[in-house]
Structure 1
């Protein structure tokens, strides 16, 4: 275990130190192109050097059977669960860890990650109150009623803020399972006032609540080969690390509530009216959204608060979590979606109040359908039977269900920004079904592995929704303002979730932009898409780490991308490549080759001037007989020459017998080259981050040419490089990065114009190459000592 912890520590803090690891720190080359090497964890039987799961890969599992009771009057949720936990690890466990995420809403049970505070400039009646020292319990957080084994015997447990450890009465060995029970309750917070991901929203106009019940049950922590127990506290930001399992959940709610949840409802026949059930069955075969609960029915339900109860039953297999929603305000529509890659039939459904009807009825369910189809193209085929979007004035994701915003004005109108924002957030949150609900990364540690990869795939999906869609994250130019920030306001992408200041740009935008640059500019779509799909396929329903992603992208594409991961993910340098200078030269077509007479002296013996200690000791060793001394046939002219036994005049001057390789140009060649002009463009890397050099050449006749040099052009000098081009028409201007595809933070130094005053043309000589006889023996036309001595 100590070895595992040590390796993890190196990787966990890589974001703070790894970008400074340089093999040649005093040099102007090599450092940015060094392999990541020991920055990445050592491959093993669980995770291979190719980025794929190893032959010894394992992961644990947890199945849940949960009953919930929603008390609308008290705004309290009561639950009882039976967890079956499977130890598939090679380790023996004497305790297990569970997450109590609702404790983050408590002011005395929370994770205690405070923020700095200062005097306010303004305040309001909700904010201004006397500081209670010590803090008084605000009444929120999980209240544990019972923790027992399957027979009802109490289990010993300890609660540490948002985490609970259960001490097992006997060791849980490899291949064994543990069945235990927990009863609990908690007061549901008003998430519109207190914040958080789950809770209720109250609508004063009709006196109803809309409940989003999320991270609501005590749930198992991940125990893994790379971390052991992931029991880092939940602070509200770093999301979740969870195990896969099967869920059976029943929710007892007011009879006039409509419930949506992870998985499939198993008793629609009991909870829906005959008309609603008939509409649901129609929706299952419709390629257009069908209202299952109509707007009129939802408005009527808002007015009559039933005191009766109904129980809804859901089941979901191979999911890592379960969330649900409940309200009498819901309009509910749905349609059938077929995923071409696996022929999976999916019910795409939306739940929303009348406040969102003008937007959600038109766009939501179709946006779900578009998302799961497009993500299936770029990753893996969507495997689940349901995908749902709930309008709840926020954005958060869970398996098969997510919560999004999107309400109209009271008159039913809406702005374009609201429409696009709603479509974008639906695509994003539905897309989270893939990252991290299926490709199940550790969000508590690496936010970018779900948010960044998902935001990138969201961008691809938005682009396929509407070519004019104003995506805010993904295009390279959108990250420039963030990359311009001072270094003390930036962290590497490879940083822990809780330590990031600019969380949105760091965890969402910069990773998404980097992947888009890889796809469009560095790798190309074909190579990138194959590698990206390979990563998704390899790690579907598993627990990937950053190294698994980095290695797979290289393994499946044949591209060495360590320089990119080092710069973009481990560093904070921006891209700022500048055109420093353009030098112009024209050919001298009348140049005559010079035939200068060259003299030289015959080479002296090619022996070391200094006899090293090994030669001296070998010569003195009476047990050593040298091979050339034993075999007289090996004692040639140079054996004797080296020992002074052959005499050569080393002071005599000889004339080099040269073979002329060039001659003057003929008339045909002069005509061919008369319009050629050479342009040397000098580039300076002012930002520090290497990138391809992309150029647009514009000529005086209005024509254009384009060229791209890969980032490898910087490998021998990371600070400055030059490229020379030969054109047979006059160059008017050069534009660096014309499509703004590298996130260059300063485009003012990306342009050069040939105005005739900012250069002085030079000349370069041009000769015609002759076909000459090759010189034998590497003598280059010189007399060797054997020739000078007249020996053979």
Structure 2
């Protein structure tokens, strides 16, 4: 009988609870859970979100020599990697990335490409690396190639903290025409443009979180790489011009004497200077008269390098002014087809503006040049160089240049794991692009004001994926929202409507400074913003980044005190869904006068409804929550109360 009574009582309580909650999905216990955002620190990573006193990071320096053959569209090269083990662990083996192996129908990337293809897919191309030699410290290596990874099994373990090895790999590959929209070949009237990336074996990251990071390259997930110094030589036909990451070390050998003078002019000019103009494209005198040339580049403290080469390149450049007083170069390389209608003739102007804006706001740009290449790739970033679609114009061209160069802060300076956390580079970058776009040339391409009520249905789609999903797990048609837009809008809301620009910017700049050329995790970012801004933001991170929760604020009702408008009114607002935000309420009384009342998010800690008093003398004409549409409210219909009569 006792058991039956307990069951009856439990059923009754459950029924009452369901009845009470039928109009709201909100639970303050879920949103403000005291242990959800409660993480312990370690000697490697501080509770403040900064690197800890025992933080360590391995490094890899690269020396590369490669030759591009424009008759069979191939690259042949050799890379020497000096790999240093700063970890507290002995390493019995090494892992390298062989991303070219994804461009093959038999690879994991090839076999997981839908029959309809896609931006990151691989159909009907059988490329990949041919490895001809692998050695460790000059001796033949015992190695295994598995899809886009190579494991080298060491005869002697690398010593902890001080171990150093030299890895040499000789390789070749056929250049894919469309390499997952990250590299490829663009045909033009004056010859093909080669945009070359993922073009040499690179070290996988060994870190304090996962040890070796060995997720295969499938296409959507980008890169996670160690920092180091690069010296690389590219041999091409003398008719070609090469641009690449870092600094060109032998300008006078690969350009004509007149072009070398123009480089010196560009280094001191805020206006674009033509290095090789459109009129010189078919002039043999615009290139040195040799069979082939070797271009020598150096890029310091970088995680990768890329390059582009073509005999069809127009080249121009201008000076970039950095906040420290240092001067570097903005460079553009593009074909004749890209000129006109605010096209690539403005590219260098756009590059200069983007780099100067972010350097003044966030952290000074660290490479000696910033180069934009017009070619087949619609938009892709590498240290100091970006690839953009050759047909982009006006706001579209500025937008893609600005976005790709924004990546030189996330993830080139702040080295997050793109293979797992696309939002930590794409979302951050989308966020900073909002402000750069508005600022350019006194608002020439200024964004319209965002109405978050209109955007909400797209943020909270029924088939959406959580932001904190591996990029290759996110459905292809969701990647733009989950990796770019939703985190970008979330950070904008956090800056503009929750913390305010001063507190947010201070915390963000400290995050960048603390993690420059290091490897933060999402938790390091969350902690950094919380500590720097002085807020526990678990209530924001969880619904926005981890869950698929929605926001629905409403005005539930108005009641006059003693049914007399002259004595004031009690207004009840309600949170209908599992996400919550601060509340802004406009109260309009008869005659048109408005009163705005603002509440912090803490009003929702006591439950899903909140009552407040307004001192009115006249009847209330309307009450509206979130009148400026700054929060992504999924249902605007219940945001405004009006009297029935």
Does the C-alpha gap of structure 1 residues 360 and 246 become closer, same or farther in structure 2, counting only changes over 3 Å? farther
Structure 2: gaps (5+ residues): 1-24
- 1:389-428 equivalences in 2 (<5 Å): 389-393=372-376, 394-407=378-391, 418-428=393-403
Structure 1, residues 53-105: CA drift from partner, whole Å, max 9, x if none?
Answer: 00000100000000010000010100111110000111100110000001111
Counterpart Cα distance in 2 of 1:136 and 1:357: 32
Report how many residues are paired. Answer: 613
- 1:634-673 equivalences in 2 (<5 Å): none
Counterpart Cα distance in 1 of 2:81 and 2:628: 54
- 1:545-556 equivalences in 2 (<5 Å): 545-556=521-532
Matched, 1:34 2:16: no
- 1:452-463 equivalences in 2 (<5 Å): 452-463=427-438
- 2:11 alignment counterpart: none
Q: Do the aligned residues in 1 keep the contact of 2:143 with 2:151 (CA within 8 Å)?
A: yes
Secondary structure at the counterpart of residue 89 of structure 2 = coil
Matched, 1:709 2:599: yes
Q: Do the aligned residues in 1 keep the contact of 2:572 with 2:609 (CA within 8 Å)?
A: yes
Structure 1, residues 720-759: CA drift from partner, whole Å, max 9, x if none?
Answer: 32332213455322222122111112222212234xx45x
Counterpart Cα distance in 1 of 2:181 and 2:123: 20
Deviates more, 1:48-57 or 1:497-506: 497-506
Counterpart Cα distance in 2 of 1:228 and 1:479: 40
The correspondence for 1:569, drawn from 545, 553, 557, is 545
User: Shift in Å at residue 362 of structure 1?
Assistant: 4.2
User: Shift in Å at residue 569 of structure 1?
Assistant: 0.9
Matched, 1:190 2:164: no
C-alpha root-mean-square deviation of aligned residues, in Å?
2.7
Counterpart Cα distance in 2 of 1:142 and 1:335: 37
Secondary structure at the counterpart of residue 42 of structure 2 = coil
Q: Do the aligned residues in 2 keep the contact of 1:356 with 1:391 (CA within 8 Å)?
A: yes
User: Shift in Å at residue 178 of structure 1?
Assistant: 0.4
Does the C-alpha gap of structure 1 residues 299 and 36 become closer, same or farther in structure 2, counting only changes over 3 Å? farther
The correspondence for 2:580, drawn from 690, 696, 711, is 690
User: Given the two structures, how large is their TM-score scaled by the length of structure 1?
Assistant: 0.74
User: Shift in Å at residue 505 of structure 1?
Assistant: 0.3
User: Shift in Å at residue 587 of structure 1?
Assistant: 7.8
Counterpart Cα distance in 2 of 1:104 and 1:407: 27
Higher Cα Rg, which structure: 1
User: Shift in Å at residue 195 of structure 1?
Assistant: 3.9
Counterpart Cα distance in 1 of 2:386 and 2:35: 37
- 1:451 alignment counterpart: 426
User: Shift in Å at residue 297 of structure 1?
Assistant: 1.4
User: Given the two structures, how large is their TM-score scaled by the length of structure 2?
Assistant: 0.90
Counterpart Cα distance in 2 of 1:735 and 1:467: 31
The correspondence for 1:357, drawn from 339, 349, 361, is 339
User: Shift in Å at residue 711 of structure 1?
Assistant: 1.3
- 2:55 alignment counterpart: 57
- 1:170 alignment counterpart: 156
Matched, 1:239 2:225: no
Counterpart Cα distance in 1 of 2:61 and 2:220: 26
User: Shift in Å at residue 683 of structure 1?
Assistant: 2.3
Matched, 1:560 2:536: yes
- 1:458-497 equivalences in 2 (<5 Å): 458-465=433-440, 466-467=442-443, 469=445, 471=447, 476-477=452-453, 479-486=455-462, 489-497=463-471
Does the C-alpha gap of structure 1 residues 279 and 305 become closer, same or farther in structure 2, counting only changes over 3 Å? closer
- 1:103 alignment counterpart: 101
Q: Do the aligned residues in 1 keep the contact of 2:185 with 2:375 (CA within 8 Å)?
A: no
Secondary structure at the counterpart of residue 561 of structure 2 = strand
Deviates more, 1:732-741 or 1:391-400: 732-741
Does the C-alpha gap of structure 1 residues 556 and 397 become closer, same or farther in structure 2, counting only changes over 3 Å? same
Q: Do the aligned residues in 2 keep the contact of 1:455 with 1:473 (CA within 8 Å)?
A: no
Counterpart Cα distance in 1 of 2:533 and 2:180: 43
User: Shift in Å at residue 356 of structure 1?
Assistant: 1.1
